């Protein structure tokens, strides 16, 4: 099914590079072509294998979402929420994938625009979350929230997390947000340390458009994307967030069980 496979490694990680070399040799023995450069991957690859972890997969998803190439994640450490193939049985499971034994699912991304007076200042993508938060100061930020052009509320808080179902087990979870199954078509809004306890997590339909308008603030604020990139914003600027038009397609082993991963990562049922 896959004639050419792109391999992406964790930057500056000898272990990742070593395992990628092992994987490359194995694939070539199976008669499968291997490409390593981003441009070649975008143009030639039928499948992308990420040898790293969830962070590496997040970056790969943002980079290649519009190329419609399925992604398989090999985790170098403990199994991740996204990279769920253990490096210990990497070659066996890759062989199964090459034989067509896998499951496939879609994951949505968020598209974010930074705007001022109707002008677009920047565009960014996120697989997990878009987070508006205070800069390195103890002062809270004040912002208004709109959904589909309807005013929702005004908040004073450390920030606001706009999350996909994928990101619901990341920063949003530690801030008291709900876990959303990846098959749920929704966007979550989770306040970070709100000044008023009545601000509760909110789920809205996946087709909604969320606008966060930063109010007067001497320090301004920061918008982060998957916790990997960030930009500074100032009062009066809008952060407009909606689902991206393309999805990523994650491949999993045939016996993939989302709830098993949740139980393992969150230690559900573990005896203390």
Domain 4-101+254-266 and domain 109-244, same fold? Reply is no
**Confidence (pLDDT) at 272:** 63
**Confidence (pLDDT) at 184:** 97
Catalytic sites, residue numbers = 54
Task: Judge contact between 61 and 109, C-beta under 8 A.
Answer: yes
Task: Tell me yes or no: is domain 109-244 CATH 3.40.50.720.
Answer: no
Domain ranges of the chain: 4-101+254-266, 109-244
Q: Per the structure block, which two tokens stand in for 64?
A: 């290649």
Give the integer Cα–Cα distance in Å for 132 and 84: 29
Give the integer Cα–Cα distance in Å for 179 and 87: 27
**Confidence (pLDDT) at 220:** 79
What is the CATH code of the structural domain delimited by 4-101+254-266?
3.40.50.10330
> Token match 């994928």: residue?
166
**Confidence (pLDDT) at 217:** 62
Asked whether residue 215 carries a pLDDT value surpassing 90, the answer given is: no
Q: Per the structure block, which two tokens stand in for 33?
A: 């072509």
Asked whether residue 6 carries a pLDDT value surpassing 90, the answer given is: yes
pLDDT, tens digit (0-9, with 9 covering 90-100), for 128-162? 999 999 887 778 899 999 999 999 999 999 999 99
pLDDT, tens digit (0-9, with 9 covering 90-100), for 216-242? 666 779 999 999 999 999 988 999 999
**Confidence (pLDDT) at 63:** 98
Give the integer Cα–Cα distance in Å for 154 and 126: 24
When pLDDT is cut at 50, 70 and 90, the band that residue 260 belongs to is very high
pLDDT, tens digit (0-9, with 9 covering 90-100), for 245-255? 999 999 999 99
Asked whether residue 270 carries a pLDDT value surpassing 80, the answer given is: no
Mean pLDDT of the chain: 94
């Amino acid at each position: 099914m896959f004639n050419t496979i792109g391999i992406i490694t964790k930057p500056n990680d000898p272990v990742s590079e070593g395992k990628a070399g092992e994987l490359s040799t194995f694939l070539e023995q199976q008669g499968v072509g291997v490409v390593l450069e981003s441009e070649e991957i975008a143009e030639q690859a039928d499948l992308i294998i990420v040898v790293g972890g969830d962070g590496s997969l997040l970056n790969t998803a943002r980079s290649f979402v519009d190329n419609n190439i399925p992604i398989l994640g090999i985790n170098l450490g403990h199994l991740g929420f996204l990279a769920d193939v253990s490096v210990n049985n990497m070659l066996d499971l890759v062989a199964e994938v090459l034989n067509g034994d896998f499951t496939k699912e879609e994951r949505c991304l968020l598209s974010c625009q930074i705007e001022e007076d109707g002008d677009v200042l920047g565009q960014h993508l996120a697989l997990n979350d878009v987070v508006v938060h205070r800069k390195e100061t103890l002062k809270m930020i004040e912002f208004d929230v709109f959904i589909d052009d309807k005013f929702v509320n005004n908040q004073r808080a450390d920030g606001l997390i706009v999350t996909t179902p994928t990101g619901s087990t990341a920063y949003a979870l530690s801030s008291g947000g709900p876990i959303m199954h990846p098959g749920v078509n929704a966007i979550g809004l989770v306040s970070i340390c709100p000044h008023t306890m009545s601000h509760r997590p909110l789920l809205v339909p996946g087709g909604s458009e969320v606008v966060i308008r930063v109010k007067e603030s001497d320090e301004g604020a920061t918008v982060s994307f998957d916790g990997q990139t960030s930009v500074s914003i100032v009062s009066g600027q809008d952060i407009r967030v909606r689902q991206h038009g393309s999805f990523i397609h994650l491949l999993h082993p045939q016996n993939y069980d989302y709830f098993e991963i949740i139980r393992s990562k969150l230690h559900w049922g573990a005896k203390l």
